[in-house]
Amino acid sequence: MGVVAVITAAGLGLAACGQSSGGGGGGGGDAIELTITQNAIAGGKNAAGANFIANWVIPKFEAAQKAKGKNVKVKFVPSGVDDEQYKTKLSLDLKSGKGADVIDIDGIWAGEFAEAGYLKPLADLVGTDADGWDGWSQIPEAVQGLATFNGKKYALPVGTDGRVLYFNKTLFQKAGLPADWQPKSWQEILDAGTKLKSSGVPVPIQINAGTAMGEATSMQGVLPLLAGAGGEVQKDGKWAGATQPLKDALGLYQKIYGGGLGDPKLQQEAKGRDKSFQQFAAGKIGILMEGDYFWRGVVNPATGVAKMADRDQVVGYAMIPAMEPGKGIRGQDFVSMSGGALRTVNPNSKHPKEAFELATFTLSPEGLKEETKDGNVRITPRTDVNKEILAGEPLLTYISEKVLPLTAYRPPVAVYPQVSVALQEATAAVVGGTAPDQAAADYQKKLEGIVGGPGNIAS
């Protein structure tokens, strides 16, 4: 009856395993207790972020509050699990009226969390402080959009990112390909893959597919390809069904995985993405489509999970081309997708104002500079510090200057995550041998159930 228990516990809110809201512990006199959580853990996932919170944010924030005459104690609640599991845990925490005071979420969860009542507009929680934060003036409109749902701000953006094609220059050299490779069409990617294969590279091209990869398949796979074929998952309120761009995108998957240029099994394994990271670092993958996280969190020589000591010499990067020049969304030659994390205040917090203060403290110019030092560079939400932080980081400067201007964002609506899963299933089907047209038709059928019937779908 374990299954029954799981469901019931979810319904009853008994399974919530989160921390109690700040200030609920008692025993601290007049101390205000705050908790902050991220999917980050020392020595594991996003270790740099975890260390930043534990070693800089907490002591500095507590000291700053003490200087103001407030006794504030902050506790970090680490986590180091798959994003889907982290989301489930947060949902159960929030559903049962618990959870940390300051919470990091993926930008794309904001809509469904807000609709569920798990998050409240910041203005409702902390009043005028929400709009009065001086950081807003430094955050570009598109990035603010990540934190906005139905016209209201629900969180603070933690940053944004972009997607490129990474390639191994050593393998390219062996295959007779240039070190400054920049494909201008999908065919040029396939051609490079064929040359890599002839030169003995085990996995010439790796583009995420399947459900095991979760949202990574959407962000580093089907959505950039869809954009490259001129399609958008949702446009003018209508969802794209079995459209030609989707068939084209799935057709590229078929050419790669049906044509021996990719490893279908890597897409099916539960830890396939991690394995693809290891294989790229080991020089077994020629071309890999990934976000900037790959550069700074995976093959980072200092803190990566698959460190490449010679990253800067060996790893090349190129913009993702449209199917053919000018065929991408908005008539673009190159495309990308962007996302970003959010930091928000738990509506169940007993000290929302202090929690908001803590969240803004982490995103202060000093905080962001501290977090991104020692090679842990990322594109922050603030333009006033990005230039300084990104200086000396060619890939992130490249993304910031060349990729972000042409990027696209996922629709910030609650139903998107379900649509994303259906897209992942379509790619899984093609990698498993289903014809692209059939997979697209199956996707449309599933989509109708998700978005409320064929009336909401553009074919």
Partner 1 sequence: MALATSPPEAGEAGAPGRYSSDAAGLGRLRAGVFVAPALLLIAAFLVFPALWVLYLALTNYRLTGAAAAEPQFVGLANLLDAAANPEFWSSTWLTVEFVLGSAVIGQVGLGFTIAWLLRDRRGPLKRLVEGLVILAWILPGAIVSFLWVALLDRDGGTLNALLGIQGFAWLLDHPMLSIIVFNIWRGTAFSMMLYGAALGNVPPSHLESARLAGASGWQQLRDVVFPHIRGHVLTNLLLISLWTFNDFTPFLLTAGGPDGRSEVLAVHVYKVALQSGELGYGAAVSAIILLINLVVAVFYLRLLRRRK
Closer CB to partner 1, 117 or 392, in the complex: 117
Is residue 17 a contact residue for partner 1 (CB under 8 A)?
Answer: no
Q: How far apart are CB 118 and partner 1 at their closest, in Å?
A: 7
CA–CA gap between residue 344 and residue 322 (Å, rounded)? 35
String marking each residue 117-146 x if it binds partner 1 according to CB under 8 A: xx----------------------------
Closest contact distance (angstroms) between CB of 17 and partner 1 is: 13
| Binder among 188, 269, 384, 448 for partner 1 (CB under 8 A) | 269
Pairing of strands 234-235, 152-153: unpaired
453 binds partner 1 (CB under 8 A): no
CA distance 78 to 69: 28
CB of 167 to partner 1, least distance (A): 22
Does residue 210 touch partner 1 according to CB under 8 A?
yes
Report yes or no: 112 and 418 within 8 Å, Cβ to Cβ. no
What DSSP designation does 107 have? G
Q: Which of 199, 432, 438, 456 binds partner 1 (CB under 8 A)?
A: 432
2 lies in the site for partner 1, by CB under 8 A = yes
Q: Does 1 bind partner 1 (CB under 8 A)?
A: yes
Spell out, one character per residue from 78 to 107, where the chain touches partner 1: x when CB under 8 A holds, - when not: ------x---x--xx--x------------
CA–CA distance, 267 with 261 (Å, rounded to integer) = 13
Q: Which is nearer to partner 1, 92 or 281 (CB)?
A: 92
Among 86, 113, 154, 443, binds partner 1 (CB under 8 A): 113
Neighbours of 106 (CB within 10 A): 19
What's the min distance (Å) between Cβ of 133 and partner 1? 26
Segment near partner 1 (CB under 8 A); pick from 162-170, 249-257, 301-309, 427-435: 427-435
Q: Find the helix or strand (DSSP H, E) in which 342 lies.
A: strand 341-345
Return the CA Rg of the chain.
22
67 sits near partner 1 (criterion: CB under 8 A): no
User: Residue 394: left (phi > 0), alpha (psi -120 to 50), or beta?
Assistant: alpha
Q: Which residue has the tokens 């016209």?
A: 151
CA 438 to chain centre: 29
Question: Residue from 155, 256, 428, 430 that binds partner 1 (CB under 8 A)?
Answer: 428
Tell me phi and psi for residue 105, to 5 degrees.
Answer: -130, 160
**By C-alpha distance, which of 225, 226, 222, 202 is closest to 211?**
222
Closest by CA position to 16, among listed 6, 26, 25:
6
Look up residue 217 and give its amino acid. T
211 lines the binding site for partner 1 (CB under 8 A): yes
Q: Measuring CA to CA, which residue among 163, 167, 164 is closest to residue 287?
A: 167
Selected binder of partner 1 within 223, 429, 447, 457 (CB under 8 A): 429
The residue ranges that bind partner 1 (CB under 8 A) are 1-8, 10-12, 84, 88, 91-92, 95, 109, 112-113, 115-118, 210-212, 265, 268-270, 275, 414-415, 417-418, 421, 428-429, 432
